[in-house]
A = this chain, B = another copy of it.
Amino acid sequence: MIITALTSFDVRFPTSRHLDGSDAMNPDPDYSAAYVVLHTGSDLEGHGFCFTIGRGNEVCRAAIDALAPLVVGRSVADLGEFARRLTHDSQLRWLGPEKGATHMATAAVINAAWDLAAKAAGEPLWRYLSDLSPDELVDLVDFRYLTDALTPDEARDILAAALPGRAARRLVLERDGYPAYTTTPGWLGYDDEKLVRLSKEAVADGFSLIKLKVGLNLEDDIRRLSLVRAAVGEDVRIAVDANQRWDVGSAVAWMTALAPFRPWWIEEPTSPDDVLGHAAVRSALASLGGEDHRILVATGEHVQNRVIFKQLLQADAVDIVQLDACRVGGVNENLAILLLAAKFGKPVCPHAGGVGLCELVRHLSMFDFVAVSGSTDNRMIEYVDHLHEHFLDPAIVRAGAYVAPTAAGYSAQMHGESVRQFAFPEGPVWSGREEV
């Protein structure tokens, strides 16, 4: 199967109008996707995207277009070679390497190629991936810059060790789904009444962990956390997320003030680039949570590539690895990150929400459970209840768990009408020709 053409789209949802997605660093996001379709000359298409929060989405789209010459005319038979071709282009690499807008665009294109391959095989991606042998999976990974922490042989051993239980774990997923947690209640732009109401609803819906945004105002955070703790009781886990708001010292001071409310993890306490900073925060928080609970450190949604993840693990800087489906180099680099996390024994709790991230990451976590870590202990996928209606194969969460997807592909495809309506700036939603 040969890719005959690549088309790209700038799709933006005006989420800032209702403050969905508002946090300490992102007060008014317009959740957006730089969206790509790989054509094959038949009905079969591969869809993919990277997620942005508005301005700059056109830069990611330009970066997708820059990748077209590397993709058109290529097959998706060897997706290891396909991915390396994109990340190793000697001239484009200068804009990274493997970071920022060009790497996000690479994610979009690689995800689209996987969507295409899984559709051609008639399998949902998580099943398609977990049918591959350890050797085939190892060939998908770019081990450059990883071998001081993870060699191909070690990766093969991890995958081989998970071979025996694959079929049984697939059945578990198809019966029970994969654990979810929710961020829906906790956006900073929501008032106290909405926060408490949504928190109670989340618990009633079966979620055992809810996440609150923090970091803008300490008094507000104390009040909000105290309200939610009172509303949900002691047994529900509450994670907090600072979205990179703090320096190391502020992170420690702020979390010291929040510790009495027993936050489960602090997410993105500081710069996602700051491996040593996260290690310092984690070390300082070790004694704060009391005897029965240490406040965990989580990060990953803005971690640019496997090299930073490798160091976060080498430096023992994080407890929770929050991979993102669309920031690193797509399925291939996320496979590397899952293997790194397995090697270091850390749970992966993917970042989701945004546009279509819930749709994608469920495949990665389910594949991880079947074929890599073999565990769901302390592992959950983030869930946010918005924008799913734009996808052909939307994420479904029941009783606090993601239902295993069954449709062929990577669930990345949006309805054509959504792409048309929300096209920026010419679509009717943005040109003022239609109300939302």
- Least CB distance from A134 to B in Å reads 21
- Whether A274 and B307, one on each chain, are in contact in the complex, defined by CB atoms closer than 8 angstroms, is yes
A17-31 to B contact mask, C-beta < 8 Å, 1/0: 000000001111110
Count of residues in A whose CB is under 8 Å from the partner chain: 61
Q: Which residue of B lies closest to A89 (CB)?
A: B55
Q: How many copies, total?
A: 2
The reply on A396 being an interface residue by CB < 8 A is no
Q: Is A91 in contact with B148, judged by CB distance below 8 angstroms?
A: no
Query: Which of B26, B52, B248, B273 is in CB contact (< 8 Å) with A99?
Result: B273
Q: In the assembly, what is the distance between CA of A128 and CA of B311, in Å?
A: 40
Interface check A184, CB cutoff 8 A:
no
User: Is A120 at the interface (CB under 8 A from chain B)?
Assistant: no
Task: Report B-chain residues with C-beta under 8 Å of the C-beta of A54.
Answer: 91, 94
A63 touches B52 (CB 8 A): no
Q: Chain A contact residues: over half helix, strand or loop, or mixed?
A: loop
Q: Which residues of B contact A101 (CB under 8 A)?
A: 59, 63, 95, 100-102
Stretch of A35-43, A275-283, A345-353 that contacts chain B: A275-283
- Say whether B100 contacts A248, CB under 8 Å: no
Asked if A272 is at the interface (CB within 8 A of a chain B CB), the reply is yes
Is B94 in contact with A26, judged by CB distance below 8 angstroms? yes
Is A116 in the interface zone, CB < 8 Å from B?
Answer: no
Which residue from chain B places its CB closest to the CB of A305 in the assembled complex? B273
Contact between B273 and A25 (Cβ–Cβ < 8 Å)?
Answer: no
Contacts of A311 in B (CB 8 A): 273-277
A residues touching B (Cβ–Cβ < 8 Å)? Answer: 25-30, 52-56, 58-60, 62-63, 66, 89-104, 143-148, 244, 247-249, 270-277, 280, 302, 304-305, 307-308, 310-311, 314-315
List 24 interface pairs A-B (beta carbons < 8 Å), by A numbering.
Answer: A25-B93, A26-B91, A27-B90, A29-B90, A52-B91, A55-B92, A56-B95, A56-B102, A58-B62, A59-B59, A95-B101, A97-B244, A99-B304, A100-B101, A100-B102, A101-B102, A143-B247, A145-B271, A145-B277, A147-B248, A275-B275, A276-B311, A276-B315, A277-B307
- Shortest Cβ-Cβ A-B pairs, 7 listed: A100-B100, A55-B91, A54-B91, A148-B248, A62-B62, A273-B307, A145-B271
